[in-house]
Amino acid sequence: MNFLFSRVALIARHSKPEVLQSLIALADCLSAHGLTILVDSESASPAEAGRYQRVERAALGQQADLAIVLGGDGTMLSIARLLAPYAVPLIGINQGRLGFMTDIPLEGMAASVEAILRGEYVPEDRILLHASLVRDGVEISHALAFNDVVFSRGATGAMIEFEVFIDTQFVYSQRSDGLIVSTPTGSTAYSLASGGPILHPTVPAITLVPICPQSLSNRPIAVNDSSVVEFVLTRGSDTHVHFDGQSHQAVLERDRVILRRYHNTLRILHPIGYNYYDMLRHKLHWGERLM
């Protein structure tokens, strides 16, 4: 059987033993077809991985030409940021409930994965954001985000004040609990809960969604994904910038955070028949079609 990929990385949430069992079962199936299997070292201990090679998570992008995640959207987010620099495509297998990105059920996963490996799939390229934190004219840190970059007030509970520029043009100053800068992928996450719009993953846009703004005239806006967004903190203590809700950095007054589309996209491979709107209807409990 001819497959398009030969070195497959498998990643799972280690907190669920039954998912690890599924990972090993999938490894056995793919190995039987002659594929090289790489198991994420954070997903399985040496004893659990058995005969399969364990690889540090940060090195998977360098060694694999396809990655399969058995887990939720949170696991997909963390893996996406690691794989995007290497253009390694990703497949998501859910753990019993449909995710926004993990759309293959555990039941029958082997058949679905084998079909994708043969080239029977729907590809979807999704953007990431690259964020640079600049202090006194010097970049002190940078990070990637697949869902969103969130600026938030600290433990004091006081609102923060900031300015936003797009392509060096001043847009507005704002006093609020924070700001969400979201990709289309992240438009169904925190952004949606804060009143932002849902964007189809193929829409070339970035959204800016205020979090509880003091002025009711502040509304979410969408800009072209080629735009450079700049956030400048003018007032606020204990302010932080968060990347996909999984890492964060302190932001001081007069710090600037520059956001732009990352040069690589992340390709997600869906099974034939995948429909983004079916997924939305199921996750958001929209009404079914009347017959």
178: number of Cβ within 10 Å: 24
Decide if pLDDT at 291 tops 80. Answer: no
Q: How far is CA 29 from CA 8, 21, 217, in A?
A: 12, 12, 56
For residue 98, name the pLDDT band (cuts at 50, 70, 90): low
217: number of Cβ within 10 Å: 7
Residue tagged active-site, from 73, 148, 244, 255: 73
Between the two ends of the chain, the Cα-to-Cα distance in Å is 42
Lookup: tokens for 46: 């040496």
**pLDDT tens for each residue of 21-72:** 999 999 999 999 999 999 999 999 999 999 999 999 999 999 999 999 998 8
Paired strand residues for 243? 149, 247
Do the beta carbons of residue 104 and residue 96 sit within 8 Å?
no
Do the beta carbons of residue 76 and residue 69 sit within 8 Å?
yes
Q: Where are the alpha helices (DSSP H) in 71-217?
A: 73-83, 109-117, 190-193
Of the listed ranges 90-94, 106-110, 236-240, the one predicted with least confidence: 106-110
Do the beta carbons of residue 233 and residue 195 sit within 8 Å?
no
Q: How far apart are CA 187 and CA 206, in angstroms?
A: 9
**pLDDT tens for each residue of 138-193:** 999 999 999 999 999 988 789 999 999 999 999 999 999 999 999 999 999 999 99
Q: How far is CA 291 from CA 275, 287, 288, in A?
A: 20, 12, 9
| Single-letter amino acid code for the residue at 272 | I
Q: Which residue has the tokens 């847009």?
A: 171
User: Which one is predicted more confidently, 155 or 122?
Assistant: 122
- Mean pLDDT within 76-90: 95
Residues of the chain above pLDDT 70, percent:
97
What is the DSSP secondary structure assignment for residue 104, as one 8-state letter?
Answer: B
User: Which one is predicted more confidently, 96 or 279?
Assistant: 279
- Burial class, 179, CB count within 10 angstroms (exposed 0-12 / middle 13-18 / buried 19+): buried
| Single-letter amino acid code for the residue at 41 | S
Backbone φ and ψ for 71, nearest 5 degrees, come out as 170, -165
- Mean pLDDT within 218-225: 97
Residues of the chain above pLDDT 90, percent:
83
Query: Which candidate, 272, 139, 124, places its Cα nearest to that of 184?
Result: 124
Do the beta carbons of residue 244 and residue 77 sit within 8 Å?
yes
73 is catalytic: yes
Backbone φ and ψ for 239, nearest 5 degrees, come out as -80, 145
**Strands laid side by side in the 239-243 sheet:** 221-224, 205-211, 178-182, 148-152, 239-243, 247-251
Q: How far apart are CA 72 and CA 62, in angstroms?
A: 23
